[in-house]
Chains A and B, each alone.
Chain A
Amino acid sequence: MEKPTTHGRGLEEVSRYYLSGGTREEQGPSNRPRRVCGSGRIVRVCHPGSGLMQSCIVANLALELARNRSSVVVWDCPSPDGAGLESFMESLDLDQQEPASATVRLYGLPDIVIHRGNGADSDKLSDLVSEVSASKDDRCLLVNSHASLESFRTVDLSGEWILLARPDEKELLRCYAYIRVIHEQEPSCTISLVLDDVGQDQDISGMAERFTVFIEDRLRVSVRFLGALRHDGYLRRSIREKRPLVLWQGQSGTKDDLTSISAGFLGLGQGWPNRMDLHE
């Protein structure tokens, strides 16, 4: 017999989600985002062709991770042209109480702590990597460093890499060089690729497939293609107004791409439409 509708049923629904001891993701309907950013995740983002876009991606990825309930810590070394993470978040409420760090506080999201680094602070970064790796809770360290390939031989490269490149042969060749050095230094690293600033008529899937197949054949490294990022007016505006694009309300192709790439990286959604086909 069907249970009659009562006022108490609403309370039951609410309590099921918010008043028990389990995590929110375990309790919701099956299509709710599940928690996938496991404890102690180190993510290094690298766009050799554009320090500006590298910081832009890190800023948006940090917010997407926080939206998925991760405790995000960012190691931020501004690029030589001065494009650091904080410059992308200036319009947000930044708590600047600590001299070497800033905290992004947004209603309903875990805090994002940004540590200001420079090239000489490798010990401090190592400490942060050790701390986050050893943590039992759901923490994620995003490393926004602009180290040259030459310095890769002397620094810690462990973790997960997101490499970004424009869809042309030269930029992808540079990516190949980076992957080779990363793999030689840290064979256990996982590497993902994002194609940045793609045009409407470009065969992105084909290009990504040729690249990943070549890398697999030559280096025995499996590169995961996360997707492509179009550049639209909203992106330029978000950079100009120092407000991360994922926080914008309007319809934007670049914002959709960023969300899709983040979801693909977190394993939450489909990601790039053809991503799953690349290695089949």
Chain B
Amino acid sequence: MSDPATVAPPKIVESVGVVLANDAYAGGQYILRLQAPEIAARAVPGSFVHLRCAPELPLRRPLSIMLRDQTKGWIDILYKVVGRGTAALAERQVGQQLPLLGPIGNGFSPAPRGSRPVLIGGGVGMPPMLLLASELRREPHFRPVLFLGSEVPFPFAPKPSEFMLDGLPPGVLATMPLLDDWGIPARLASGQGFAGCFDGLVTDLARAWLAQLDETARQSVHLYACGPTPMLRAVAELARGFDLPCQVSLEEHMACAIGGCAGCVVQVATPTGPAMKRVCVDGPVFDASTVF
């Protein structure tokens, strides 16, 4: 079995990002916009940065790139306050400087021409899916579909989608406005009863849509996912059930993020038996079937 993560990563840059925005959203979520032109230029979908959240916390934190503007030189990062690092990051003000390393990691391997990418993101796992969608939209033949889930209010104002998706329960119409602007059909899921969202797990939402496809259409689907481990496990099951290729982006506690310390490993199946792979540079994207 070949490792799907075969996109040769660019060199990692040690740079200083300037905070352009650090906006709070419900549920302890923030979107950080950093001026970091070299990283914006080199990032690929799946890339992350290793960010020093505050001077007093010298160990950096790995955070996925959600959007980037190569012309203006900024990157957007979605994070949720879960510990000391992200709490300190939430305190950063516009104009402050943050040392960061990036872009790091192997990106998603490109979907073959004629395939139908289906992207599933959960919570702060949404960012790599959005960066991937932003790249896929440049090649209209892909016709990607996104399913996003969150148990806290989404960090954007959902609106009814202009695009139809078959097989979903009535009233499941909410999408992320940006995706509509990009011409990409998407739907949202939550167990919190948010208006227009699928009431349940994002993986059940994806399953409902996949199930109504005819066999030929379904066999062209390639799954991509990032989110909490239980969600990724469910996506891997979904892929197994429908016999679809599936790439997942993982996270783990990291020290160096350069491949030096082997602190961030995940156990993967290889032809020669189990192996410990580093999430930072062997991943963060892995073939789901080798991990789950």
Do the two chains bind?
Answer: no
Query: What residues make up the interface of B, taking CB atoms closer than 8 Å to A?
Result: none
Query: What residues make up the interface of A, taking CB atoms closer than 8 Å to B?
Result: none
